[in-house]
Chains A and B, each alone.
Chain A
Amino acid sequence: MDALHHLLAGFAAALSVKYLLFALVGCVLGTLIGVLPGLGPAAGTAILIPLTFSLDATGAIIMLSAIYYGAMYGGTITSVLINVPGEAASVVTCIDGHQMARQGRAGSALGIAAIGSFVGGTLATVALVVVAMPLASLALKFGPAEFFALMVAGLCLVVGLAGNNMMAALLMTVIGLLLALVGVDPVRGAPRFTFGVEELYDGIGFIPVVMGLFGVAELLLAAEKRQIHMVEAELKSWMPTAAECKQSVGAIGRGTVVGFVLGLIPGVGAIVPTFMAYVLEKRVSKTPERFGKGAIEGVASAETANNAYANAAMVPLLALGIPSSPTIAVLMGAFIINGITPGPFLFQEQPALVWTVIASFFVGNVLLLILNLPLVGLWAKLLKIPFSYMCAGVLIFCVIGAYGLKQSLFDVWVMLGFGILGYLLRKLDFPIAPAILALILGPMMEKSLRTTLEISGGSFAIFLDRPVALTLLAVPVIVVGFLLFKPRSLAPLRESDVE
């Protein structure tokens, strides 16, 4: 019960006015970072480190963690309102979130995102306290072969759920994977498809692509219709209704589990848990055809998984000293500079400090909820601004975001180019999400596949020797095959659409 004692002491410290204030400032700044496209959690947290120079160790870490959580939430706001994800983990939220906004349910979407984030984040923190050490070691058994299989499973499920558009979804996935090949080969270092263009050496950035395909394309479609407002429907409510909350309970529970489990595995990143949770939700739903047309469970599952992931990703850091993502590495740097060495000894050597930080995770999640729920109405009201102004504002916002990423005008052209492409694809009824997921997952898939083949000496038979990888690979293949050849028995599924 030593842990409980330390945790309570931690709460006493984290709830002091001073630390509450730091957490609050962190949440606000983090939300702002999340709202800005092009400034993701990793860069945003790093830039704000100087703000913590004058703080003591606990205060600095509380504030940086709050920035991190805030950023994970902030991306949701632009996803829902203007179909522009503020960071990678919010891509999936666009799919149903923006549809909800178009139906006048922006308040519900943002509200359920805040609630889901809170529940996911809090439950993941509880799990962190209880099972951090054993699970962290277990997650390391997840090698490159399993990692690759997980990615393949994810992409197959996305394609498999595309219903009537399955061929189109498959095509879009392949296009996304091809785009992901552009740039320098991650293992050998040879440039590929760069055509001597300097900017392409670093690959095609997914942020400009996403802003183009989602955001700019959306503006073009709306402009064509001569809309008066960004969202034509009346604002219905600012809060999710009781019925909507009830619909989302299962999604929030499943999202928490998916986000937490995947967060334990180093290197997975924030986007995989969000779309895995989304796909799972669509699979278990009795009415999968609602997905992509404003299903609140879609928003709830992705947003919950996102925050559960963010908290679970702390487990490998605290328990093993392994930073599993660049954002977590920023936090690790802050830990070290403040005299804390994450790793197996952390809990024994500095229990007071660790438990205060863990307690502050709880506090941070509560603050995010308190901060965001009252603001939901304000955000939703933005949609009532006349379209002619709003459109220009969003476009400026996108251009600054694309440019700001690397101060590169090239990225702005990429965004505009993909904006036009996105417009055409939407007109032709091609789903866009599979291409984006493939573009983001492509480099990770390639690295894990090539490491797997290095281990096996080039033989694909290694997948047959690894039961977890084999299962992960087999399930989606069977599901997709089933959908292709037994169309009638699964008719309701096929009517639905990922995009």
Chain B
Amino acid sequence: MRRRTLLIGAASLPALVNESGPASAQDAFPSRPIQMIVPFPPGGVADISARPVAHVMGKLLKQSVVVQNKPGAGGSVGAALAARAAPDGYTILMALSSISVLPVADRLQGRPAAYELDQFAPIALITADPTVLVVSADGPYKTLKDFVEAAKAKPDKINYGSSGVYGTLHVAMEIFAAAADIKLFHIPYQGGGPAVAALLGGQIDALASGPSAAIGQIKGGKMRALAVWGDKRLASLPDVPSMKELGYDATFYIWSGLFAPAATPAPVMTALRDAAKRTVEDPEFKEAMAKVETPIAYLDAPAFAAFVAADAKRLATAVERIGKVPEK
């Protein structure tokens, strides 16, 4: 008998995670754990935002919200998985600005898009920050001027890492390179986290990073911040100039926001939007985001949808300027 109890006991744990079958009408959403897909490896902006959101949202909904890292192809692998997931609210996506770029880039490369933006319904914008240009603290570049001069002297020799081909950090850096009229050598990683590790390990020379992924390293003296993409300085890095004030017309915001598959039913969407709203208002969440020095930039679904549409338009132009990236 002991064995049977054991097996049944063992069986109930995955069941707890994965009770299948459609929830009956009287079941309040959510009746089982929600999985939040982060289309990047740990350590980047999406992951750093996702963990506190998942934690606090789980507390408010009284159900675990489980972060799943599904990296690949600049975020397109995980986003496509979320787009194809059952539209029942139990799979949501923590995406970055690149969500609108990747389908455009796919068409530019002459292949069918892995997903389309209209396969998603926006839930809420969580953070929006200008990216920051960082180099190794031991490196030769002390100012943005040094960096640009060096790049002009030897085009294509300074290499920079990114979150993937046409990923957020790639597009940000290319916007700056176009504004400064320089050529840099691009090395795509699987996400912002591995790119930060690569800069620390001396594998790459520079990186456009989301502030939350780099701020600890900047303050810890491992990385030097040269400038921020944005109209004004970052509150967390008051000594770092903006590209605008240095005379470069380069603006880029890395934002993170929650999406659900487009066909998710309205009552479930309402529940998710409400949960997101209560999450960003939660003191525990505010404190966690303050720890990673990331200001919360909450927008509810309608405003967020308009924001995404406007951003998509702007980024599409930037991507077309990058053009086709040759396969190596």
Contact = CB atoms under 8 A, between A and B. Distances in A.
A143 B203 contact: yes
B90 to A, nearest CB: 9
Contacts of A397: 7, 10-11
A184 B73 CA distance: 9
A43 B11 contact: no
A454 B187 contact: yes
A128 B70 CA distance: 29
A333 B52 contact: yes
A187 B217 CA distance: 27
A183 B7 CA distance: 33
B3 to A, nearest CB: 6
Contacts of B13: 32-33, 36, 39
A404 B292 contact: no
Contacts of B219: 344-345
B56 interface: yes
B198 A184 contact: no
Contacts of B55: 49, 333-334, 337
Contact of A201 (B14, B80, B165): B80
B51 A343 contact: no
Interface string A398-419: 0011011001000000000000
Contacts of B18: 403-404, 407
Interface residues of A, number: 74
Contacts of A334: 55
Contacts of B50: 333
A189 B73 contact: yes
Given A32-B10, A188-B73, A454-B328, A49 B64 contact: yes
Contacts of B64: 46-50
Q: Which of B63, B66, B68, B109 has the most CB of A within 10 A?
A: B66
A343 B217 contact: yes
B43 A323 contact: yes
Nearest to A402: B14
A140 B165 contact: no
Contacts of B159: 455
Interface in B56-79: 56, 58-59, 62-64, 66-74, 76-77
A337 B216 contact: no
A376 B63 CA distance: 34
Given A140-B197, A451-B188, A385 B71 contact: no
B3 A385 contact: yes
A353 B73 CA distance: 38
A186 B190 contact: yes
A144 B43 contact: no
Interface string B164-204: 11000000000000000000011111100110111011110
Interface stretch (A5-13, A324-332, A475-483): A324-332
A407 to B, nearest CB: 5
10 tightest CB-CB pairs across the interface, nearest first?
A: A344-B220, A333-B51, A189-B73, A404-B14, A140-B201, A329-B42, A343-B216, A323-B42, A189-B76, A46-B66
